[in-house]
Amino acid sequence: MKILEKIRKATLSEREKMLEALKANPVCRPMNSDLRETELNNEDGQGMTKRVWLNPNNQTCFNAGWFTYQDFYDWTEGKGRIVKGKTPEEKQKFWEVAVFMHENDYAWAFGYHMKDFKYIDETYHPEMKQGYFSNRWAKTPLKITKTNHADIISKAFGNVCRYYGDTYVKPEYNSHLLTRMREELDGVKSTLYMLGVGYYGAVNTPEEPENLSWVADVCLYKAAYLYYVKNNIQLPDFEFVYKNRYKL
């Protein structure tokens, strides 16, 4: 069988070898699966070289464009022209974020939404006062005014974020834990809406805390982010990558 495999690999075209290399590294995922080759003039005007158009799935960390076969092999090693960045150190940062995003659900949201985490006060937890039997009340209830809706929203969602962010269970798309969290977030949204605090908008716009649909997703992303922080799991440099993703 090993001999047959060697014969098979020896008969592969240059394009087929490249496709196998990409398949072996799932971080390097093209959005255009055909990856057809074309002969284009070299930049120095001397001769022509076979190049392949790439539209990468992860456009935060990788460049689109015409690339040689060697560029694709470099890509699978986290270096070269496809990986964003001007220096090897910068390219390493983009590569580390790409790997982390591939291996961890919700990591794709960290870099973009870190600036929005301030809208969720996960430190809030109402102090309780005990009554008869098991009766309990909030010692200092929140009071809604015309001007404090953003603060009410921050604390209401933050109380949920605090609970689900303090866990040893890795946040995954279909986990029972985050299914429960989504159900609780729906309850928070519905309650705030009935009280006249916030409104239902699209999940991606406007990006403001009064948009309950949007801020509920931010709450989910922050809870996922807190899992890594509270369990001392090292995160790649999201701040650098998202600050420079359109510059480098």
Q: Cα 33 to chain center, whole Å? A: 22
For the whole model, what pTM was predicted? 0.88
**Tens-place pLDDT, residues 3-37:** 545 544 555 789 889 999 999 999 999 999 888 88
Q: Share the mean pLDDT of the chain.
A: 92
Angle between helix 14-23 and helix 69-76 axes, rounded to 10 deg = 20
Residues 6+ apart with CB under 8 A from 34: none
Percent of the chain with pLDDT over 90: 78
pLDDT tens digit sequence for 73-122: 999 999 999 999 999 999 999 999 999 999 999 999 999 999 999 999 99
